[in-house]
């Protein structure tokens, strides 16, 4: 028999995971950035103070990069409060999470750790090991030069020993980072020499990473179209996606990206940023790319979810904010195509009444209740609601409809219902819920939907806390096995 403490801990963990999935400390449609940061800071302090082991374990879950970095920082700052066993497990979880974080975010995290004065032996070892595992030290030194310098100083690294011995010539790492303009001769490391030459030779900048070369191109006054055309071979996959429209405007055809290979939610964001006329003109290309990305995400689960009704929020609040422009709508559009791939039959119901997902845009009120009733009339195997939960046309109808459906019309749960919410509600320290009888989980990327639907069973209250702990333990074990 589970005691009250177990149930409270389970509820607190789910509350924190929802926040760690959705909130990035940035402005949302209905809350300012400082409200988001203050609310999130309270949750981090509360969970760390009361459930340290669970707090660390969330590094193995599908939380966003912002909160993963916050957890790592707080664990390092409070290392003295942990037992030796906890520090050992935390160290492995931190190493595993840092390995999958974008490098620029890790360097930013290390600079924050340095400013906070955290300089114990374990922290230095984590920094050293992460740097030693980087696949291309020279590239990091050029692309993230200030970050590498900060880590080298803080962790007291011997650069020729700890970072770079695998490649001939990287004994030049120290001089390049700290005194690159004092060398009387060139560097033998090709990338370092290209950086040095790019200061006075235009051709050399095309041997550099795009983010570095862009600054040199501006300094040399190079035409944007010429620059994009010639730097194209150095672009990463996501840089190609971000530069698509700029390249089209400058007729730099070499920058064209393979849209079908892009992550689903990023691709949805790209599509929504296009004018409607462009979406119509490129309908076949964009639809094929979205479906290919969705099928790749669905994997072996494709077609296994039966008859699915999806209520998708394209009301005005789906615009998000200037910092997270159209992010909620991008999640909904990604979910549309992913659910199409997962379902045997999909019944998509956009709040606006539109039937063309590709042409969706944020507009109008949020009549969730009406669309939920429409969806339930189809008697689907699953009902998936993707919305920020602000049901206002009329207010409360969705929650009441779901309550009656679950308690009176379908008490045995023949129709599985889950609410996926992409927006953190800073005031309530959680994502906004529609009904107590229906599980609500936060969602950051459409790609995470299958895992989140699995997590939703614990939010529904039908599963015991012990089953939640078992689920978390399993995810941690899998994560640490990948880390090894």
Q: Are residues 345 and 222 in the same domain?
A: no
The residue segments making up the domain with residue 305 are 265-464
List, as one string, the DSSP characters of 283-298.
HHHHHHHHHHHHHHHH
- Tell me the pLDDT of the chain averaged across its residues: 91
Q: Are strands 345-350 and 382-386 parallel, antiparallel or unpaired?
A: unpaired
Alpha-carbon distance 231 to 213, whole Å? 8
Average pLDDT over residues 33-45: 96
pLDDT, one tens digit per residue, over 176-191 is 888 888 777 888 889 9
Q: Are residues 283 and 227 in the same domain?
A: no
Q: Are residues 246 and 281 in the same domain?
A: no
Q: Are residues 269 and 253 in the same domain?
A: no
Give residue 173's pLDDT.
84
**Would you say residue 51 has pLDDT above 70?**
yes
Give residue 168's pLDDT.
46
- Whether 25 is in a domain gets the answer no
Percent of the chain scored above 70 by pLDDT? 95
Domain-terminating residue out of 217, 234, 257: 257
CA 57 to chain centre: 18
Contacts of 135 (CB under 8 A, 6+ apart): none
Average pLDDT over residues 190-200: 93
Percent of the chain scored above 90 by pLDDT? 75
Q: Are residues 205 and 236 in the same domain?
A: yes
Least confident stretch, 180-184, 272-276, 294-298, 358-362: 180-184
List, as one string, the DSSP characters of 164-196.
STTSTTGGGHHHHHH-TTS-SS--SSHHHHHHH
- CB-count exposure of residue 299 (10 Å: 0-12, 13-18, 19+): exposed
Least confident stretch, 80-94, 216-230, 294-308, 454-468: 454-468
**Would you say residue 21 has pLDDT above 50?**
yes
Average pLDDT over residues 14-41: 94
* Contact present, 257 and 286 (Cβ < 8 Å): no
Q: Which of 200, 165, 458, 443 is nearest to 330 (CA)?
A: 443
* Contact present, 202 and 230 (Cβ < 8 Å): no
Domain-terminating residue out of 257, 292, 325: 257
- Whether 379 is in a domain gets the answer yes
Give residue 165's pLDDT.
43
- Whether 429 is in a domain gets the answer yes
Alpha-carbon distance 59 to 393, whole Å? 38
Give residue 49's pLDDT.
96
Q: What's the CATH number where 329 sits?
A: 3.40.50
Least confident stretch, 17-26, 187-196, 391-400, 452-461: 452-461
Q: Given the structure tokens 């966003």, which residue do they identify?
A: 64
Least confident stretch, 142-156, 160-174, 205-219, 367-381: 160-174
Give residue 79's pLDDT.
92
Q: Are residues 385 and 276 in the same domain?
A: yes
pLDDT, one tens digit per residue, over 425-473 is 999 899 999 998 899 999 999 999 998 988 887 876 555 778 888 889 9
Question: With bands split at pLDDT 50, 70 and 90, how would you rate the model's confidence at 317?
Answer: very high
**Would you say residue 231 has pLDDT above 50?**
yes
Average pLDDT over residues 361-386: 95
- Structure-token pair, residue 378: 């189809």
Torsions phi, psi of 431, nearest 5?
A: -85, 145
- Whether 32 is in a domain gets the answer no
Torsion angle, CA of 352/356/358/359, rounded to 10 degrees?
-60
Contacts of 225 (CB under 8 A, 6+ apart): 250, 251, 252
- Whether 106 is in a domain gets the answer no
Supply the pTM of this predicted model.
0.92
Q: Are residues 345 and 247 in the same domain?
A: no
Alpha-carbon distance 422 to 370, whole Å? 21
Least confident stretch, 46-50, 223-227, 247-251: 247-251
- Whether 292 is in a domain gets the answer yes
Q: Which of 59, 52, 11, 19 is nearest to 35 (CA)?
A: 19
Give residue 222's pLDDT.
95
**Would you say residue 265 has pLDDT above 90?**
yes
Q: Which of 472, 464, 477, 462 is nearest to 62 (CA)?
A: 472
DSSP state of 325: B
Least confident stretch, 60-64, 176-180, 266-270, 323-327: 176-180
Q: How many domains does the chain have?
A: 2
DSSP state of 410: -
- Whether 229 is in a domain gets the answer yes
CB count within 10 Å of CB 301 equals: 12
Q: Are residues 343 and 427 in the same domain?
A: yes
pLDDT, one tens digit per residue, over 149-185 is 999 888 888 776 656 544 544 578 888 888 888 777 8
Alpha-carbon distance 158 to 282, whole Å? 53
- CB-count exposure of residue 3 (10 Å: 0-12, 13-18, 19+): exposed
The number of CA neighbours under 13 Å toward the Cβ of 190 is 6
Q: Are residues 333 and 240 in the same domain?
A: no
Q: Are residues 235 and 276 in the same domain?
A: no
Q: Are residues 249 and 335 in the same domain?
A: no
Q: Are residues 342 and 454 in the same domain?
A: yes
Give residue 462's pLDDT.
53
- Whether 71 is in a domain gets the answer no
């Amino acid at each position: 028999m589970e005691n009250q403490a177990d149930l409270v801990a389970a509820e607190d963990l789910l509350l924190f995971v929802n926040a760690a999935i959705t909130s990035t400390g940035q402005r949302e449609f209905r809350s300012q950035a400082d409200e988001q940061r203050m609310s999130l800071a309270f949750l981090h302090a509360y969970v760390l103070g009361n459930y340290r082991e669970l707090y660390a374990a969330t590094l193995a879950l599908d939380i966003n990069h912002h909160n993963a970095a916050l957890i790592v920082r707080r664990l390092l700052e409070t290392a003295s409060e942990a037992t030796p066993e906890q520090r050992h497990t935390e160290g492995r979880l931190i190493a595993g999470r840092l390995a999958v974080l974008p490098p620029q975010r890790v360097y930013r995290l290390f600079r924050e750790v340095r400013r906070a004065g955290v300089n114990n032996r374990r922290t230095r070892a984590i920094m050293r090991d992460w740097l030693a595992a980087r696949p291309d030290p020279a590239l990091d030194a050029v692309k993230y030069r200030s970050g590498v310098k900060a880590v080298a100083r803080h962790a007291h690294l011997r650069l020729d020993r700890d970072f770079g011995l695998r490649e001939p010539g990287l004994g030049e790492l120290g001089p390049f980072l700290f005194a690159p303009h004092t060398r009387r001769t060139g560097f033998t490391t090709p990338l370092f020499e290209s950086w040095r030459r790019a200061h006075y030779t235009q051709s050399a900048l095309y041997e550099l990473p795009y983010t570095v070369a862009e600054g040199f191109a501006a300094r040399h006054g190079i035409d944007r179209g010429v620059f994009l055309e010639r730097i194209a071979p150095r672009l990463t996959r996501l840089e190609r996606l971000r530069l698509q429209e700029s390249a089209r405007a400058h007729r730099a055809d070499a920058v064209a990206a393979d849209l079908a290979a892009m992550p689903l939610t990023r691709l949805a964001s790209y599509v929504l940023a296009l004018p409607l006329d462009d979406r119509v003109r490129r309908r076949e290309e964009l639809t094929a790319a979205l479906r290919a990305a969705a099928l790749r995400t669905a994997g072996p689960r494709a077609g296994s979810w039966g008859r699915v009704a999806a209520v998708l929020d394209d009301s005005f609040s789906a615009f998000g904010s200037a910092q997270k422009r159209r992010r909620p709508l991008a999640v909904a559009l990604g979910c549309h195509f992913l659910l199409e791939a997962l379902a045997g039959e999909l019944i998509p119901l956009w709040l606006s009444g539109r039937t063309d997902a590709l042409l969706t845009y944020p507009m109008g009120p949020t009549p969730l209740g009406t669309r939920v009733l429409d969806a339930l009339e189809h008697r689907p195997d699953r009902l998936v609601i993707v919305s920020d939960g602000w049901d206002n046309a009329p207010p409360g109808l969705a929650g009441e409809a779901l309550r009656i459906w679950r308690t009176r019309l379908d008490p045995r749960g023949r129709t599985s219902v889950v609410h996926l919410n992409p927006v953190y509600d800073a005031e309530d320290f959680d994502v906004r819920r529609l009904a107590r009888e229906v599980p609500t989980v936060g969602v950051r990327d459409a790609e995470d939907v299958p895992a989140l639907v699995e997590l939703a069973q614990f939010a529904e209250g039908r599963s015991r806390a012990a089953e939640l702990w078992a689920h978390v333990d399993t995810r941690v074990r899998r994560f640490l096995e990948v880390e090894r």
